Amino acid sequence: MSQSPDKIRCDACPVLCFIKDGMSGACDRYANRGGQLVRVDPHLLLDRTLQQGGELVPFGARDDWDGRLLDDQPRFVTAIGAGTTYPDFKPAPFIISTPIDGVDMVTVVTEGIFSYCGVKIKIDTDRYLGAERATVRAQGEPVGHVTTVEYGSQMLSLGGVNHLTHGGKKEGRVTCETLLDLCNRKAVELTIDGGATVVVQAGRAPVVNGVAEERMRVGCGSATIGMFAQQWFGKVDEVIVVDDHITGVLSEHQAGKVVGVPATGIRIGGHKSTPGRYFHVAEPGAGWGGTNLSDPLAIIESFDPARAWPGLSLFMVSTTGEHAAYYELDAALRPVEKPMPEPLALSVARIRENCEPALCTVLFMAGAGGSLRAGVTENPVRLTRSIKDMLTRVTAGGAPVYVWPGGGITFMVDVLRMPVNAFGYVPTPAIVAPIEFTLRLEDYAALGGHMAHVRPASSLAGGNIQVQGAHEENPWPLNVPAPGDGRPA
């Protein structure tokens, strides 16, 4: 921290703001209070004995507080509100030792400044959003792209170092703002080139072109045939499950043959894959089964008069049960729509029942680079190896993360498993996210950790600290691993 007569310089990130007394920096995370640089947000600790989402306990605001952490329950020190290691050579802001079940554990916490980061968004809906590789925009700026569809979920990949730093200033600023809002569980409107406008919010149903989605598919058209063939047998002669990806036809499908459905002579457009499974019966869109069809009969080319018969019953349904219709063939073997028989109406309800609710999941993904690792150990590669050897547990705001195989520390975390408003930003632009490394004290010493900076949790007394209940679905980060659990022989 540098100082001038009326300002102090913050060195918590590369921007190096000069901050007047009573003002905060560009990130709104650090401020000048009477000539001292202070962290605006409280440092968050987790307590597994408190109810999740319960009232925060602001220790510093209690008149009767004697400086202790109120009781002897071990609390997990998160990196939220802890500060950063910038300008890279500094040890992590907090390296806290905690005795757990007779084992000395240490947690190294820091708020990482991530330029190499983004979000992966899983949108559970059968609705077509856009072509793979199509550009995704926020406020008109490119912030990502559509990636592969995954069995009823449309997937978006947003952010990344190129959008944050290689485009224009507005692109970087909007990308950073979009990532920050998504990670902090706010709603964001995105537009997809050649596709839909979608409002995305973690833990909520997507809103596509102004309509809130209700459900994702029960399965592809072929899978739906397999699931319900036995229930349709004897109630209808032919079933077509319309699907943008794999449309299923009961009489041709192996499931239909096994239960004894006779051939109907139906001929379907599209690309035939294996019996009863058809690809690309129509273009993608907002109609039946994620296609652009408003009339499902468009995929039927004809019925073979040598096999079909007048009065043949035909049931057509989408993979969500949103669309369904019943037909009978007339004397010319043309489908004529009729009222839906009650057994088939119950089948539509069963399909809907088996569809999970439409939902948006936001996964923050980042690479923890050299400067962050240097805050843990003077030899950063040892931290990477320790994580690969499962000696070190990685969390983000106390939430479990998935560490990708291969080089480096590339991790991914569900933002809904983290405390609310766990993310910040710096206007370089980059996202600020919490990351914690927990391991045995003896292992920390072995990897060359900053042992001179290890201190007990009681040393936090007097700071701007708040305690919050731990997420009930998260494993407790301070659990001591069993002997030999992930440890080399």
Tell me how far apart the alpha carbons of residues 13 and 137 are, in angstroms, rounded to a whole number: 28
Both tokens of 78, joined, read 């998160």
CA 292 to chain centre: 28
Both tokens of 10, joined, read 């913050």
Q: Based on the number of CB atoms within 10 Å of its own CB, is 54 exposed (0-12), middle (13-18) or buried (19 or more)?
A: exposed
Whether 211 and 286 have beta carbons less than 8 Å apart is answered as no
Tell me how far apart the alpha carbons of residues 183 and 185 are, in angstroms, rounded to a whole number: 5
Residue type, 224: T
How many Å is the Cα radius of gyration of the chain? 29
The answer for 402, left when phi > 0, alpha when psi is -120 to 50, beta otherwise, is beta
Residue type, 393: R
Question: Rounded to the nearest 5 degrees, what angle is found at the Cα of 159, between the Cα atoms of 155 and 165?
Answer: 160
Residue type, 228: F
Enumerate residues 6+ apart whose C-beta is below 8 A from 163: 118, 142, 143, 144, 171, 172, 175
Nearest to 449 by CA among 461, 438, 435: 438
User: What's residue 464's pLDDT?
Assistant: 83
User: What's residue 28's pLDDT?
Assistant: 72
Q: Based on the number of CB atoms within 10 Å of its own CB, is 213 exposed (0-12), middle (13-18) or buried (19 or more)?
A: buried
Nearest to 265 by CA among 323, 200, 333: 333
Both tokens of 22, joined, read 């009573």
Tell me how far apart the alpha carbons of residues 365 and 183 are, in angstroms, rounded to a whole number: 10
Tell me how far apart the alpha carbons of residues 320 and 216 are, in angstroms, rounded to a whole number: 7
Whether 182 and 362 have beta carbons less than 8 Å apart is answered as yes
User: What's residue 3's pLDDT?
Assistant: 52
User: What's residue 51's pLDDT?
Assistant: 54
User: What's residue 482's pLDDT?
Assistant: 59
What are the φ and ψ backbone dihedral angles of 172, each rounded to 5 degrees? -65, -40
Tell me how far apart the alpha carbons of residues 115 and 117 are, in angstroms, rounded to a whole number: 6
Angstrom CA distances, 250 to 188, 244, 459, stand at 41, 17, 69
**pLDDT tens, per residue, the chain with 489 residues:** 445 567 888 777 777 788 888 777 777 777 787 777 777 778 999 998 875 554 444 444 444 444 444 455 689 999 999 888 777 678 999 999 999 988 999 999 999 999 999 999 999 998 899 999 999 999 999 999 999 999 889 999 999 999 999 888 999 999 999 999 999 999 999 999 999 999 999 999 999 999 999 999 999 999 999 999 999 999 999 999 999 999 999 999 999 999 999 999 999 999 999 999 999 999 998 899 999 999 999 999 999 999 999 999 999 999 999 999 999 999 999 999 999 999 999 999 999 999 999 999 999 999 998 678 999 999 999 999 999 999 999 999 999 999 999 999 999 999 999 999 999 999 889 999 999 999 999 999 999 999 999 999 888 877 789 999 999 999 999 987 655 555 443
What are the φ and ψ backbone dihedral angles of 66, each rounded to 5 degrees? -100, 10
CA 83 to chain centre: 25
User: What's residue 22's pLDDT?
Assistant: 76
Question: Rounded to the nearest 5 degrees, what angle is found at the Cα of 375, between the Cα atoms of 396 and 435?
Answer: 5
Whether 482 and 441 have beta carbons less than 8 Å apart is answered as no
Residue type, 307: R
Angstrom CA distances, 360 to 154, 175, 199, 264, 481, stand at 10, 19, 10, 41, 33
Both tokens of 448, joined, read 């060359």
Tell me how far apart the alpha carbons of residues 325 and 382 are, in angstroms, rounded to a whole number: 63
User: What's residue 62's pLDDT?
Assistant: 42
Question: Rounded to the nearest 5 degrees, what angle is found at the Cα of 402, between the Cα atoms of 398 and 404?
Answer: 140
User: What's residue 63's pLDDT?
Assistant: 44
